Amino acid sequence: MEEKKKALIIVDVQKAFDNKKWGERNNLNAEENISKILKLWREQEWLVIHIQHTSDNPNSVFHHKNEGFAIKEIVKPIDKEVIINKKVNSSFIGTNLEEILIENEIKTVVITGLTTPHCVSTTTRMSGNLGFDTYLISDATAAFGLKDQNEIYYDAEAIHNISLATLHEEFATILTTDKWINEFFSRHMY
C-alpha cells in the first residue's frame, strides 16, 4: 500500500543540544512539532527512523557514555522503530540508512531534527541527490547562532532561514508542520 512507502527521519534530537555551549537557538517548538508528526506517523504505522549522533571523544556531549547522547523523551523511539548511529553530518555516510529505505521500498522521505545547517541539511541534500522525494519540515528543525571565518555573528533565525533557502526546490520541498499535516499528510493517510 502507498502509505508504507514513506519514512520519517528524526535527526539527532538528543539531550546534547540542551547544553548551554551552543548558545542562542531559534524555533524552540521544534521538538513539539516533531512529536506531533511522529504521533500521526505512528498511528499510520509508517516507517520511523531515529538518527543518533555519536562521538568517539569521551569529552564530547555526544559520547555514548554521556547524558547528551540520549534521544530526548519527547521523541523517544518505541517498539520496532529503527535507530541508526552516525559519526558524521550525513545520516547516509557510514550507515545502512539508504539500504533500509530501499529494502522498505521507500520513495518519500520526511526529515526533521537538529540542527538545520549541519546534520539536517547534509542529510536532506543527500536524500535529494539519492533520488528520494524529500520533504524538510521547517519548524521541526532548529539552528544555533554562528560566527563565520571573519568572526561575524549570524543569529539563529538567519542561519535557519538561509539553510532552508539553500535546500528548497533544489534538494527538498520545505513545508511547515501544519502545511505538511493539512496538505500532504491528510490527503495521503488512507
Is the Cβ–Cβ distance between 70 and 101 less than 8 Å? Answer: no
Kindly report, residue by residue over 16-74, the tens digit of the pLDDT.
999 999 999 999 999 999 999 999 999 989 999 999 999 999 999 999 999 999 999 99
Is the Cβ–Cβ distance between 157 and 26 less than 8 Å? Answer: yes
In terms of Cα–Cα distance, which of 93, 104, 113 is closest to 163?
A: 113
Kindly report, residue by residue over 82-138, the tens digit of the pLDDT.
999 999 999 999 999 999 999 999 999 999 999 999 999 999 999 999 999 999 999
A 10 A CB-CB count for 1 gives: 5
Record the pTM: 0.95
